[in-house]
Amino acid sequence: MAIVEALKQSQKVEAECVQKLIQQHFDWVNNFWTPTKETYLGLGQMYLDHPDFRAFYKELHPDLLEYLVAAMKVFAERKLS
């Protein structure tokens, strides 16, 4: 998974390569509903709060969930209104 590789390479969440991955995540989410800045940030918070999401992301990498949500916040601040 590319986001895990970015995390392992210590790419900053603001980095263009990471933000391109978050754009892909946003585009995928957009297949189901059109998130606003607030709802996309809310999705990230739900990932943090829900034990099933926590367990899923922790299996991939112990720090992935926090990294993903931080990158989602950067994306939302820069791209969404």
DSSP-assigned letters across all residues of 51-68 = HHHHHHHHHH-TTHHHHH
Spatial contact of 55 and 30, defined as CB atoms under 8 Å apart: no
Domain 2-79 bears CATH identifier 2.60.40.10: no
Give the CA dihedral 33, 34, 36, 38, nearest 10 degrees.
10
Round to whole Å and give the CA distance between 10 and 33.
31
pLDDT digit string, tens, across residues 25-48? 999 999 999 999 999 999 999 999
Portion of the chain with pLDDT greater than 90, in percent: 99
Q: Is the pTM of this model over 0.85?
A: yes
Residue 35's pLDDT is 96
